[in-house]
Amino acid sequence: MEIQKLIDALNQQRQAITGEAVHQMDFDQLQSDLAEAARMLIGLGERDKLCERLLADFKSDIARMALAVSRAKGEAGTGELVEKLISSPDTGLDDLFHLRKMVREQFNHCFPVAPQSKLSGRLASSRAKVSEFKTGV
């Protein structure tokens, strides 16, 4: 059963109890709905644990990238600021995604995937040959 349908069914049954229309209630359906709700809550509890683990891992990745960037730049304050933002209860998921994007950009700038020699070879402004920069030739 879908969650919304289950919620609606349980709300109808709650209203019947509250309105003292107990004689109209289908107790077999109530029992079935309560068993389904218990099953869904167990599943949601497991998902909640998984989400907490994934969120902790997500935050840890952001913190590690920020620490590496701050060490590469020689700035200790940046890593501490990111740690405070990550651990703040006011920081929502959208804020974390935005923070990860900013930290990842800085990380990729400090630690490029390709060696700098290959990156500079692709630039249009670097038309000079390597032999021009050799000394003692």
Q: Please report, as a single letter, which amino acid is at residue 59.
A: K
How is residue 53 annotated by DSSP? Answer: H
Query: Which residue segment(s) compose the domain that 76 sits in?
Result: 3-114
Please report the sign of the dihedral spanned by the C-alpha atoms of residue 78, residue 84, residue 90, residue 91. positive
- Choose between 81 and 136: higher pLDDT: 81
Please indicate, yes or no, if residue 123 is contained in any of the structural domains. Answer: no
What number is the average pLDDT over the span 11-35?
Answer: 83
Which pTM value belongs to this model?
A: 0.63
Please indicate, yes or no, if residue 50 is contained in any of the structural domains. Answer: yes
Please indicate, yes or no, if residue 49 is contained in any of the structural domains. Answer: yes
Domain count, the chain: 1
pLDDT per residue as tens digits for the range 78-126: 788 888 889 998 999 999 999 999 999 999 998 887 766 655 555 545 4
Please indicate, yes or no, if residue 107 is contained in any of the structural domains. Answer: yes
Please indicate, yes or no, if residue 122 is contained in any of the structural domains. Answer: no
Please report the sign of the dihedral spanned by the C-alpha atoms of residue 35, residue 40, residue 42, residue 43. positive
Q: Distance between CA atoms of 23 and 124, rounded to whole angstroms?
A: 83
* Banded model confidence at residue 56, pLDDT cuts 50, 70, 90: very high
